[in-house]
Structure 1
Amino acid sequence: MPTYTSRRRRGSCWVGAACLAASLAGCLPASQYLTPAVEIPTQWNQYGDGGDAQTRTRELGAGAPSETGPYDWWRAFGDANLDQLVEDVLVVNSQLAAAAIRIHQARLQAGIAASNAYPRISSGLGLNAGRETGSLRVQGDYSVSLSYELDLWGKLAAERDAARWAARAAEAEREAIRMTLIGDTAKHYWQIGYLNHELVRNEADIANAQRTLAIVRGRHEAGAAHGLDVVRAEQGVATLEALRLNLLAQRTRHRNDLAILLDRPPQGWLHEPGHLPEGHLPGVPDSLPADLLSRRPDLRKAEFELRRLLARINQARAELYPTFSLAGKAGRSSASLVGLLSNPIDGIGLGVVLPLLDWGMRQRGVEVSRDEYEANVAEFRKTWYTALAEVDSALSGRWQLEQQKSLHALSLERAQRAEGLARARFVAGLSDVQPWLDEQKQVRQLQGACAKNRLDRLNNMVTLYKALGGGA
């Protein structure tokens, strides 16, 4: 039976172990995270004459990831149907749902890792009954055991950190998927509106080409036009009819792509846009601070991954050192309730595991973890510079598209005047039909270029919003 003295000695063991842990806890400091230095501009300026922007650069750390919540940047376009469509996609999209499940898994793993900071307790209870010399004998027993690994070198803390940063990375990945889905939804929405507008314009072009064909046939029957003119006019009608089939096929593809985003089979849509939105597009400030990039979820994920890998290095380094663990057990076996609850048999011990035989393998594990971290540092820098390039390209494209808008409008006005003159010359018998057909084609192309420019400017705004992490 354990005496008071023996229990006092075991209590001293616990105290001694705690003192040992306190004295060794700071022997292996963890590597501290430093954000990789990248050279970024202090701000981007608007592109002006010549299409070049003057920017100042400085070398500095990329900074802590911004915790700014998602910004509903698509609402800046003022389209209620687009707003509703984006909301529907964000609710039902299967890719976003899968990302949410991965976040839940990562958080569960972080919770499991967090449990290593506490002792592990297990218990057992048994009851046996038997007959001896004609009487029933009941024997009961119970046991409680406790084990606790002393985190002298920070291994368990590093494991918790790695799991926590993995969960943060999963959250950032979901935000990146969310932003991509919003951009894709808006682009498909506008593409369908653009194609519907082009189909309406194509119908008008076909009707106009058929009227031209009727005029040419009439002049041919009157002997005032050559048979070649009739063939050329017929060819123009056939070309426009073939273009219509191509436009219909494109619209079907974008409808199907949108149905996939909505997690449903291809089907009609009640609020399909008949044309591109009109009016002014959302503005962009004269200068944009480069710090906006810290809101990009892909950059946040890259930094969280670096922090996770650094925690893995700290964990691998701690594996090189001995593992100390405390274990305690108490239990009792008795045929009576009083005996079962009195004077339990207890014990305590301190265990040490020395990494002697596999020390070399563990050392190589540290080197592997370091190499993986350094490789991700290089990828992190590439990700930052890619983000900078995307913003710069979007700003440059915005300026160029604005210039093209004015040029296309001017060219269209002149082409329409030229088409009228060519028609008058043909009707007057001063030329064959080809110059008139050529000018009609030029007008159609420039009308299409104006519509395409509008679509490109809308898509460019989406690209810029995404490049800046969800807004300017």
Structure 2
Amino acid sequence: MLNPARTTTASSVKRLAPSSSTSSRAACRMRSRVRWAPCWRPGCASALLWAVDGGGNFVFARGGMVVLQKSLSHIQSRRYSRSHTTVRQDFFGTQGAAMSQILERYRLIAMISPLLLLAACSHAPHSADPPRLDVPAHFSNEEGGEGILDKSSRRTLPVDWWTAYGDPHLNALVRAALERNTELTIARARVDEASAATRRARASLLPSLSAGTQATRGRDYSENVAIGNDGRATLSASWEADLSGRLSQAAEGARLDAVAAEQAWVATRWQVAFETVSAAVQQRQASELEALAAARLASAERLVLLMQRKFEAGQATGFDIERTRAGVVALRVEQEQLRRARGEATHALDVLVGQTPGAPAASPTLASLAVPDWTPTRIPADLLSERPDVRAAEAKFAAETARWNAAEGERFPRLVLDLSGGRQRVESVGTRITGNIFSLGAGVSLPIFDGGAIRAGIETGEARSRAAHAEFERTLLSALQDVENAYLGWHTQHAALEHQAEGVAVAERQLDRSRRLFEAGQVDATVVAEAEAGVLSAQASLIRTRAETAMQWGVLAKALSGSPV
């Protein structure tokens, strides 16, 4: 807590300005002013150290505040200066007066120089050490099963990984989403907010400069009625020396928050790109399944008619008719569900690209979306150092540690340097005095008792740092888990796609054989209808598998995406 500095006003200058005939009374007053006096104000552990009048330069130190003020006395007559010299010689002696002038000139520098040296020795007691993890040399599921993808099919993942699908319409959708998505706008605003907070925190390390004016008019009834005017214009500067590193650590925490916000914005870009690809794939899947469901429904209805004829001919039972009718009902329900899924995917895609939901849009087929047949590869150590979510978690941990260090700095003294100067004009009883004013002050405060607030702040910083460290470690483990799951899902889904394509081929061969048997008269039409329904069902499963494979490649690409910054 900085105590207010003792200053010298125009009235005090007038009282302290003795004539040559009253030098003894001035010396007496000076003796009464040079003394030791403790300061008993709460929170103040300093005292009034000394106060010496020296040729218009008044130096005071009270309550931890050292003030050197150039008063208006320099515009007084030379008679005051000569009488002042007499007072100094009478009080200190001739040699003592000369020595005191030298001490007064450099006393302030000598007092604040050790504190300024302490500012250069500020340190951070706590460091942000990353978690210790046994990072593997390669991902265990990167190779996949034998015969699925060989080593020659591996490439480095491009930054714009969605272009690997080879679909111009999809590329345009992703570009539109990255330009107009509201989530990215919010993330960008948070980056700007964090950058502004960083500049504000860094500003505390620099001096502050302000200007002001003051005008007063007063009346004195003590002896004779008099009216006085006082006006001044000042320019003030203030700077707090960062003795304990409190200010620099707070600025470092703000800077790391900006780094975390920037990496969060990069992670949001990858997320928006993945969600756009996923919504486009789901839209195309629902559109193709809805069209295929209409063909399956028509085939099921034909099968019901054929079964009805066989029942009338005594070749089928009522159970066979109800079974085929149940299949028709299930297909109608599925058709409505696919219609809803297509609408929801379309609306989600509209929101992602910044459009009003429900706007008509073209929906290309899923077949135009080429599923990549190669596997992207990454080294785990490089991935953990480049993934944006990992970088953001690391920056948050370092930021909380820096704020913990800043809380530790609250236990140390604070040094504030104040510098002000200007011009003052005083008018009283026909006397006009105009002159320059100048003051240089250094205030030091040391906390003694605050009810445990500083200790609570330090413990809060420690707890937040430990929580951020655990969050950082969890993010690292989750990143490794995401990649392992993505590799596993990509290889198994790619294998499932091959098996499903083989299942469609088997169903088509079965349909062709049933048709030849029907033409030869060996089977009836219901066998052919059932074979047709089997082909349509296998094709629907193939559409789903192809869509899931395309999205799984996007999951792998998103998990392996690094930060370009």
TM-score, structure 1 as length reference: 0.83
Q: Partners of 1:5 and 1:35 in 2: how far apart?
A: 56
* Match of residue 407, structure 2, among 299, 316, 329: 316
Q: Distance between the aligned counterparts of 1:111 and 1:287, measured in 2?
A: 37
Q: Which residue of 1 aligns with 2:62?
A: none
The equivalences for 1:112-191 within 5 A come to: 112-126=200-214, 140-191=231-282
Match of 2:469 in 1: 377
1:117–1:287 CA distance, 2 compared to 1 (3 A): closer
- In the alignment, structure 1 residue 25 sits paired with structure 2 residue 119: yes
1:71 equivalent in structure 2:
159
Aligned to 1:101: 189
Decide which moves more: 229-238 or 294-303: 229-238
1:67 — aligned with what? none
Contact 1:259 1:266 in 2 (8 A): yes
Q: CA deviation at 1:431?
A: 6.9
Please tell me whether the aligned partners of residues 216 and 230 of structure 1 are also in contact (alpha carbons under 8 angstroms): yes
Q: Find the aligned partners of 2:434 and 2:104 in 1 and give their Cα distance.
A: 18
Asked whether the 8 Å contact 2:425–2:435 carries over to 1, the reply is no
Query: How big is the shift at 1:387?
Result: 0.6
Shift in CA distance, 351/288, structure 1 to aligned 2, threshold 3 Å? closer
Shift of 1:96: 1.3
State the secondary structure of the residue aligned to 2:255. helix
Q: For residue 134 of structure 2, give the secondary structure of its aligned residue in structure 1.
A: strand
> For the Cα contact (< 8 Å) 2:243–2:412, is it kept in 1?
no
C-alpha contact 2:176 2:353 (8 A) present in aligned 1: yes
* Contact persistence 2:131–2:469 (CA under 8 A): yes
Shift of 1:252: 0.8
Deviation at 1:79, TM superposition (A): 1.4
2:497, 2:529 → 1: CA distance?
A: 25
- 1:43 aligns with one of 138, 145, 149: 138
Cα distance, 1:82 vs. partner? 1.1
Q: Deviations over 1:261-319 (max 9, x none)?
A: 23333123433223343445152246645412322111111000011011111101111
Q: Tell me the SS of whatever aligns to 2:362.
A: coil
Q: Which residue of 1 aligns with 2:92?
A: none
For 2:376 and 2:255, how far apart are their aligned partners in 1?
37
2-structure distance, mates of 1:142, 1:396: 75
Q: What code does the residue aligned with 1:20 have?
A: P
**What pairs with 1:196-211 in structure 2 (closer than 5 Å)?**
196-211=287-302
| 402-411 or 99-108, which deviates more | 402-411
Question: Partners of 1:367 and 1:408 in 2: how far apart?
Answer: 59
Q: CA deviation at 1:251?
A: 0.6
CA deviation profile, 1:85-130 (whole Å, cap 9, x unmatched): 1111122211211111111111111111111111122221246799
Distance 1:203 1:83 in 2: 30
Tell me how far apart the structure 1 counterparts of residues 253 and 563 of structure 2 sit (CA, whole Å).
31
Which stretch shifts more, 365-374 or 455-464? 365-374
Cα drift, residue 459 of structure 1 = 0.8
Higher mean displacement: 270-279 or 460-469: 270-279
Q: Structure 1 278/175 Cα, relative in aligned 2: closer, same or farther at 3 Å?
A: closer
Structure 1 residues 340 and 184: alpha-carbon distance in aligned structure 2, compared to 1, 3 A threshold: farther
Tell me, which stretches of 5 or more residues in structure 2 are unaligned?
A: 1-12, 14-53, 59-69, 71-101, 151-157, 219-227
Contact 2:300 2:533 (C-alpha < 8 Å) held by counterparts: no
* Alpha-carbon shift at residue 471 of structure 1 (Å): 9.6
State which drifts further: 180-189 or 256-265. 256-265
Whether the 8 Å contact between 2:165 and 2:369 is mirrored in structure 1 is: no
CA contact (8 A) 1:148 1:327 kept: yes
The more displaced of 194-203 and 324-333 is: 324-333
Query: In structure 2, the residue corresponding to 1:356 is in which secondary structure?
Result: coil
Give the structure-2-normalised TM-score.
Answer: 0.71
Percent identity of the aligned residues?
28
Letter in 2 for 1:415: A
Q: Distance in 1 between matches of 2:235 and 2:377?
A: 70
Deviation of the 1:152 alpha carbon:
1.0
Aligned residues: 450
Aligned residue number for residue 171 of structure 2: 83
**One of 358, 362, 365 as aligned partner of 1:274:** 365
Partner deviation per Cα, 1:228-253 (whole Å, 9 max, x = no partner) = 55554444333323221111011111
Query: Take 2:474 and 2:559, find their aligned partners in 1: how far apart are those partners?
Result: 15
**1:88 alignment partner, SS class:** helix
Task: Give the aligned partner of residue 63 of structure 1.
Answer: none
2:331 corresponds to which of 226, 234, 240: 240
Distance in 1, matches of 2:521 and 2:316, equals 8
Q: Shift of residue 361 of structure 1?
A: 2.7
In structure 2, what is the Cα distance between the partners aligned to 1:37 and 1:361? 33
Which is further off, 277-286 or 166-175? 277-286
Cα 1:333–1:342, aligned 2, differ >3 Å: closer, same or farther?
closer
Native 8 Å contact 1:119 1:146 kept in 2: yes
**Equivalent AA in structure 2 for residue 407 of structure 1:** H
- Matched residue, 2:453: 361
2-side partners of 1:84 and 1:234: how far apart? 44
Paired position in structure 1 for 2:384: 293
Q: CA deviation at 1:3?
A: 4.4
* 5+ long unaligned stretches in structure 1: 54-69, 131-136
